[in-house]
Amino acid sequence: MDTKAIKEMDRAHVIYSWAAQGTVDPIIMDRAEGIYQWDTDGKRYIDFCSGLLNINIGHGNRHVLDAMKAQAEKLCYVGTMFGSEPKARLAKMISEVTPGDLDYSFFTNGGAEAIENAIKAVRMFTGRHKIYSRWRSYHGATAGAITLTGDPRRWAAEPGIPGAVKFFGPYPYRDPFGGKTEEETNQKALDALKTQVMLDGPKTIAAIFLEPIVGTNGIIIPGKTFMQGVRQICDENGILLVADETMAGWGRAGKWFGIEHFDVVPDIITTAKGLTSGYVQLGAMIWNKKLWDYFQDHPFVGGLTYGGHALGCATGIANIEVYRKEGLIENSAENGAYMLNKLEALKENHPCVGDVRGKGLWAAIEFTSDRATKAPLAGFNNSIQNVAPDFVKKLAELGLTLFAKWDFVFIAPPLIITKEQIDDAVGIIDEALYVVDKKIT
């Protein structure tokens, strides 16, 4: 079927997420391999955002595809009341790479469902109802996860679940508390959180949920001062700490899990995306021993028809094998540092580039209309002008796809990427940024 016929069928029947349907004009992708995708007209694109920040091992990995085929021919699905070898093996393999005593996995369909079950788990464990999460966060689109989210995607789902409370985390480039240095920014955010917890009643708070590195709200990276201070607040007040590693996990930030950058061990990790690299859906809520022991004689009231799906678990096993065999966690750290330096150099040619930040093969460019004052260009929720569509369109014309919104450009290539391929991709971004430079008045 030709591209025109596919697109006509698509636009007549398919509902797209986060968009007014009349504005949607998708590229119709046909196949993918490694870091590349090809559309139905045969044009090649560098996939510089790993699908939707999930194709960590790259497209078409033969080891994973063979493992999926073998499992599909043996057992695709079994009811959640039964065990299976893939479910048991994957849970054990996860325990080998998670920090601390996070050794116990509850499998879900994706990251949002992992958050939903973590909300239930922390409330059952503590007997408390309040859940803290930060502004400028994203935790998923289901009822509880979207309530914890701290960006405009939450608004359509409000009032949301009860008991959700927001706090400000550190944001060095645009510190809401006026900090002048990164250390000051982190300390001010921590002091504000301590005061908020005190005023709100620490014994009413079940958990603090946070992305160790903020994802689709700007790749905002806290310091150890803040993260270790949050852990201390939790320990002193019987509050659980939940790390949302849906994006930061599985090598994306240069370590198995993003939280490892801060020498902090949470009580729960929620994860998905890179667990199977998007080859099939799978997420997980991972408990420490404290929660595991509690739920030995207290029922965990949670379940999903497809939890622990045999095909999904086999895919997760094969992914972890690829991460290890191909040294992809190490590659993310090494080539991520190289990529960040290349992105930093873009400031020389482009006045629209205000800030560049990243960890591992995960980075963001933040636009500004005035580098001296850090004035926004698009503004929060495109409050000034809509910048991203023109930029993304130009990138696609030049043969590269990534995700951008507001003043943020999100860069997250597959962890298999080489330095030469990074050079090619950053060169395309360099050319496309002139489109954004022209929007500065």
H-type alpha helices, 369-418: 388-397
Mean pLDDT of the chain: 97
Q: Are residues 74 and 162 in the same domain?
A: yes
Q: Are residues 284 and 297 in the same domain?
A: yes
Distance of alpha carbon 429 from the chain centroid? 22
Average pLDDT over residues 324-331: 98
Burial string for 145-165 (b: 16+ CB within 10 Å, else e) reads bbbbbbbebbeebeebbebbe
- Percent of the chain exceeding pLDDT 70 equals 100
Q: Are residues 93 and 186 in the same domain?
A: yes
Which of 325, 359, 380 finishes a domain? 325
CATH code of the domain containing 396: 3.90.1150.10
Strand 36-39 versus strand 44-47 pairing type? antiparallel
Q: Are residues 307 and 418 in the same domain?
A: no
Residue 12 sits at the vertex; the CA angle it makes with 11 and 13, to the nearest 5 degrees, is 95
pLDDT beyond 90 at 305: yes
pLDDT beyond 80 at 95: yes
pLDDT band of 48, cuts 50, 70, 90: very high
Q: Are residues 173 and 284 in the same domain?
A: yes
The reported pLDDT for the residue numbered 409 is 98
Give every CB contact of residue 343 below 8 A, 6+ residues apart in sequence. 356, 358, 363, 365, 411, 426, 429
pLDDT beyond 80 at 168: yes
- Asked whether the beta carbons of 45 and 36 are under 8 A apart, the reply is yes
Q: Are residues 341 and 363 in the same domain?
A: yes
Q: Are residues 85 and 196 in the same domain?
A: yes
- Tell me the C-alpha distance between 344 and 134, whole Å: 27
Domain that includes residue 279, residue range = 62-325
- Max distance between CA atoms of the chain, in angstroms, equals 64
- Asked whether the beta carbons of 15 and 21 are under 8 A apart, the reply is yes
Q: Are residues 245 and 369 in the same domain?
A: no
- Tell me the C-alpha distance between 313 and 307, whole Å: 10
Which of 278, 304, 325 finishes a domain? 325
Q: Are residues 271 and 339 in the same domain?
A: no
DSSP, res 356: E
Give every CB contact of residue 180 below 8 A, 6+ residues apart in sequence. none
Model confidence pLDDT, tens digit, residues 408-439: 999 999 999 999 999 999 999 999 999 999 99
State which H helix or E strand residue 193 sits in. Answer: helix 182-200
Which of 325, 354, 372 finishes a domain? 325
Model confidence pLDDT, tens digit, residues 358-398: 999 999 999 999 999 999 999 999 999 999 999 999 999 99
pLDDT beyond 90 at 247: yes
Give every CB contact of residue 341 below 8 A, 6+ residues apart in sequence. none
As for how many domains the chain has, the answer is: 2
pLDDT beyond 80 at 441: no
Average pLDDT over residues 344-353: 96
Torsion angle of alpha carbons 277, 278, 280, 281, nearest 10°? Answer: 100
Q: Are residues 333 and 294 in the same domain?
A: no
CATH code of the domain containing 295: 3.40.640.10
Q: Are residues 415 and 336 in the same domain?
A: yes
The reported pLDDT for the residue numbered 1 is 84
Average pLDDT over residues 139-152: 97
pLDDT band of 133, cuts 50, 70, 90: very high
Q: Are residues 49 and 74 in the same domain?
A: no
Average pLDDT over residues 194-203: 97
- Asked whether the beta carbons of 364 and 356 are under 8 A apart, the reply is yes
